[in-house]
Amino acid sequence: MNNLTDKDRVLIFDTTLRDGEQSPGATMTHEEKLEIAELLDDMGVDIIEAGFPIASEGDFRAVSEIAKRAKNAVICGLSRANFKDIDRCAEAIRHAAQPRIHTFIGTSPLHRAIPDLTQDEMADRIHETVTHARNLCDNVQWSPMDATRTEWDYLCRVVEIAIKAGAGTINIPDTVGYTAPVESADLIKRLIETVPGADEVVFATHCHNDLGMATANSLAAVAGGARQVECTINGLGERAGNTALEEVVMALKVRNDIMPWHTGIDTTKIMHISRRVATVSGFNVQFNKAIVGKNAFAHESGIHQDGMLKNRDNFEIMRPEDVGLSGTSLPLGKHSGRAALRDKLEHLGYEVGDNQLKDIFVRFKELADRKKEVFDDDLIALMHSGENAEADHLQIVSMKVVCGTGGPAEATVEMEIDGKDVTATAHGDGPVDATFKAIREIYPNKARLQLYQVSAVTAGTDAQATVSVRLEEDGMIATGQSANTDTVVASAKAYVNALNRLLVRREKTGPGADTREISYKDVM
Ligand code: KIV
Ligand code: ZN
């Protein structure tokens, strides 16, 4: 049975690379976008919204490259309701085996006021733009932005226009996270019952999480007849985020008794992609986040552990393995060899080539010398710490930090800049401040520190700290990461990693190229 004839199949539309990446600070590099798209494709996502091609040269390049590479998924680009946007979008997705244009306009009274269009003018605009998109691509999705605050009669009218103009998917966004489950189900159900031609198209739901109801609202919309859920990995997205893919998919799997619909997602790939999205976006997952949080499968309290030992079902409604967490995880140690490391990394979802393995093995040995047991989380941190890569312009060579209660901290940092050795000493309010000042003395820059985040990878005082540093310079944002058993060393390396990324971004984009602010006001 294919997706269209299987009435119980819910299509998963992932917008991590568009709505997710739109979240301030979550900017990803070109390579990171390609990697995430490949993981999404591989896990069975039906439609990948790869970006907003008119927004920037970088977005355009990413959407076109993802379109060329996708193996299974439909590749979709977003466009506002104007011909220029739609043409650019069509151009970006044209190499996809299965392309889709997604065009939208804000239909609620508040959003209609932005381009200052009357109801009739907007209705005409919808007819013209969906028709134009349909002339360029057979697969068109249309969204009335802020649908949940749009007048009922007007919503029915514009949905009918979009269907008549050839849209095959009608997405009903809860743009500001305002709706509630009962209302969400009812809205989709009534639209399907009321709008002529509604039974010929797929209805989609796109919920934001401002009131913490995005997953509930999406599932309710499915109960009301929606057969496409729009979501992001880890719920990444503007403000409180979008519906989390992993929550919808696992809810449908675990509670299939009362929600008899299914998706095509390979759930064992969830943890790996969740970690990658957290790393590349710099948005850590909260420990108690459903499905993918560090504590989601942890059973710490004595009473829970006792219950678990007697019968896992006492406290576990799904198995960690279902989402790709390895059941048993024996730590590696300093006597573990290359084969054991490769085996463990493969188990964690990483395919490493011989050269990469050589590099990771050296760093693994260094870590194992400092730390008796190297756990899965240590290895994941190692895989993603922005350690000095050979191609990096800036590298930390050595550092010495003195701190105490008697005065300011002092840091002496030695760095290599394009092969030249430079050393500086600086004082600061604590060891990290002193270290960052020394780095700025060696490599003066005007990047602003937007985020400095430290978390312990595992338990114990010898635990590695992972540090994320987000820098902003002239509208360009870069996130650096590093992990080390020494928090100050990890901080310095994460800072330098972010500086290296800023440098790459500057070289690739030139002044201002990737920083254009797009406005929802530009309708025509
Ligand atoms: O939230 C929203 O309304 C959107 C649209 C562009 C679909 O993201
Ligand atoms: Zn959205």
Kindly tell me if the per-residue pLDDT of 520 is higher than 80. no
- Tokens 């070109």 found at: 30
Per-residue confidence (pLDDT) for residue 509, from 0 to 100: 55
* Closest CA to ligand 1's atom 1: 175
Quick one: 304 and 401 in the same domain?
Answer: no
Residue 302 forms part of a structural domain: yes
Q: Report the pLDDT averaged over residues 365-382.
A: 82
Which atom, in ligand 1's list, is nearest to the CA of 19?
8
* Closest CA to ligand 1's atom 5: 145
Quick one: 272 and 312 in the same domain?
Answer: no
Helix (H, G, I), strand (E, B) or coil at 452: strand
Residue 340 forms part of a structural domain: no
Q: Which of 486, 442, 441 is nearest to 467 (CA)?
A: 486
**Cβ-count burial 478-489 (b if 16+ within 10 Å, e if not):** bbbbbbbbebbb
Edge-to-edge order in the sheet of strand 394-402: 394-402, 409-417, 420-428
Per-residue confidence (pLDDT) for residue 228, from 0 to 100: 98
Ligand nearest to the CA of 231: 2
- Kindly report, residue by residue over 268-284, the tens digit of the pLDDT: 999 999 999 998 888 88
The domain total for the chain is 3
Quick one: 31 and 108 in the same domain?
Answer: yes
- Residue 175 CB less than 6 A away from ligand 1: yes
Written as one string, the DSSP assignment of 456-479 is: ESSSSTT--EEEEEEEEETTEEEE
- Ligand 1 pocket test, candidate residues 206, 231, 522, most atoms within 8 A of CB: 206
Q: How many CA atoms lie within 13 A of 219 on its CB side?
A: 20
Mean pLDDT lowest among 12-21, 305-314, 333-342, 415-424: 305-314
Ligand 1 centroid distance, CA of 172 (Å): 9
Written as one string, the DSSP assignment of 79-95 is: EESSHHHHHHHHHHHTT
Residue 520 forms part of a structural domain: no
Ligand 1 centroid distance, CA of 366 (Å): 47
Q: Which of 209, 235, 283, 244 is nearest to 28 (CA)?
A: 283
Ligand nearest to the CA of 77: 1
- Kindly report, residue by residue over 31-59, the tens digit of the pLDDT: 999 999 999 999 999 999 999 999 999 99
Kindly tell me if the per-residue pLDDT of 1 is higher than 50. no
- Residue 157 CB less than 6 A away from ligand 1: no
Question: Could you tell me the two tokens for 68?
Answer: 């060329």
The pTM for the full model equals 0.83
Helix (H, G, I), strand (E, B) or coil at 70: coil
Residue 375 forms part of a structural domain: no
Quick one: 134 and 274 in the same domain?
Answer: yes
Per-residue confidence (pLDDT) for residue 515, from 0 to 100: 44
Cβ–Cβ contacts within 10 Å for residue 152, how many?
11
Determine what percent of the chain is predicted with pLDDT higher than 90: 65
Quick one: 190 and 114 in the same domain?
Answer: yes
Q: Would you say 492 and 481 are in contact if contact means Cβ atoms under 8 Å apart? A: no
Ligand nearest to the CA of 85: 1
Quick one: 105 and 217 in the same domain?
Answer: yes
- Tokens 């600070």 found at: 25
Ligand nearest to the CA of 52: 1
Question: Could you tell me the two tokens for 90?
Answer: 């069509």
CA distance 325 to 378: 14
Kindly tell me if the per-residue pLDDT of 219 is higher than 60. yes
Which atom, in ligand 1's list, is nearest to the CA of 18?
8
Task: Report the CATH number that the domain containing residue 445 is assigned in CATH.
Answer: 3.30.160.270
Ligand 1 centroid distance, CA of 299 (Å): 38
375 or 421, higher pLDDT: 421
- Kindly report, residue by residue over 320-340, the tens digit of the pLDDT: 999 998 755 567 888 889 888
Helix (H, G, I), strand (E, B) or coil at 227: coil
Per-residue confidence (pLDDT) for residue 480, from 0 to 100: 85
Ligand 1 centroid distance, CA of 270 (Å): 24
Ligand 2 centroid distance, CA of 148 (Å): 12
* Closest CA to ligand 1's atom 2: 175
Per-residue confidence (pLDDT) for residue 514, from 0 to 100: 45
CA distance 81 to 122: 10
Ligand nearest to the CA of 143: 1
Ligand 2 centroid distance, CA of 177 (Å): 9
Per-residue confidence (pLDDT) for residue 405, from 0 to 100: 82
Per-residue confidence (pLDDT) for residue 445, from 0 to 100: 92
- Ligand 1 pocket test, candidate residues 14, 15, 19, 146, most atoms within 8 A of CB: 19
Question: Could you tell me the two tokens for 396?
Answer: 């930390």
Quick one: 187 and 146 in the same domain?
Answer: yes
Ligand nearest to the CA of 142: 1
Quick one: 51 and 185 in the same domain?
Answer: yes
| Pairing assessment for the beta strands 409-417 and 394-402 based on DSSP bridges | antiparallel
- Ligand 1 pocket test, candidate residues 145, 205, 210, 239, most atoms within 8 A of CB: 145
- Residue 207 CB less than 6 A away from ligand 1: no
**Cβ-count burial 101-111 (b if 16+ within 10 Å, e if not):** bbbbbbbbeeb
- Kindly report, residue by residue over 469-503, the tens digit of the pLDDT: 988 888 777 888 888 889 999 999 999 989 988 88
Mean pLDDT lowest among 1-5, 191-195, 377-381, 401-405: 1-5
- Residue 18 CB less than 6 A away from ligand 1: no
Residue 382 forms part of a structural domain: no
Quick one: 217 and 118 in the same domain?
Answer: yes
Ligand 1 centroid distance, CA of 144 (Å): 8
Residue 483 forms part of a structural domain: yes
- Give the model's confidence band at 309: pLDDT under 50 very low, under 70 low, under 90 confident, else very high: low
Ligand 2 centroid distance, CA of 142 (Å): 13
Q: Which of 250, 252, 332 is nearest to 292 (CA)?
A: 250
Q: Which of 294, 182, 300 is nearest to 234 (CA)?
A: 294
Ligand 1 centroid distance, CA of 173 (Å): 6
Highest mean pLDDT among 327-331, 435-439, 448-452, 470-474: 435-439
Q: Report the pLDDT averaged over residues 146-154.
A: 98
Determine what percent of the chain is predicted with pLDDT higher than 70: 91
Quick one: 315 and 417 in the same domain?
Answer: no
Helix (H, G, I), strand (E, B) or coil at 180: coil
Q: Report DSSP state, residue 284.
A: P
Mean pLDDT lowest among 116-125, 174-183, 379-388: 379-388
Kindly tell me if the per-residue pLDDT of 420 is higher than 70. yes
Residue 472 forms part of a structural domain: yes
Ligand nearest to the CA of 204: 1
Ligand 1 centroid distance, CA of 163 (Å): 18
Quick one: 316 and 460 in the same domain?
Answer: no
- Residue 206 CB less than 6 A away from ligand 1: yes
Name, in order, each residue with C-beta under 8 angstroms of 302's C-beta and a sequence gap of 6 or more: none
Per-residue confidence (pLDDT) for residue 47, from 0 to 100: 98
Kindly tell me if the per-residue pLDDT of 347 is higher than 90. no
Residue type present at position 334: K
Kindly tell me if the per-residue pLDDT of 93 is higher than 60. yes
Task: Report the CATH number that the domain containing residue 247 is assigned in CATH.
Answer: 3.20.20.70
* Closest CA to ligand 1's atom 8: 19
- Give the model's confidence band at 386: pLDDT under 50 very low, under 70 low, under 90 confident, else very high: low
Domain of residue 313 covers 297-327
Ligand 1 centroid distance, CA of 13 (Å): 13
Average pLDDT over all residues of the chain: 90
Question: Could you tell me the two tokens for 445?
Answer: 């820059």
Residue 356 forms part of a structural domain: no
- Kindly report, residue by residue over 242-301, the tens digit of the pLDDT: 999 999 999 999 999 999 999 999 999 999 999 999 988 888 899 999 999 988 987 655
Quick one: 242 and 322 in the same domain?
Answer: no
Per-residue confidence (pLDDT) for residue 511, from 0 to 100: 43
Which atom, in ligand 1's list, is nearest to the CA of 22?
8
- Residue 103 CB less than 6 A away from ligand 1: no
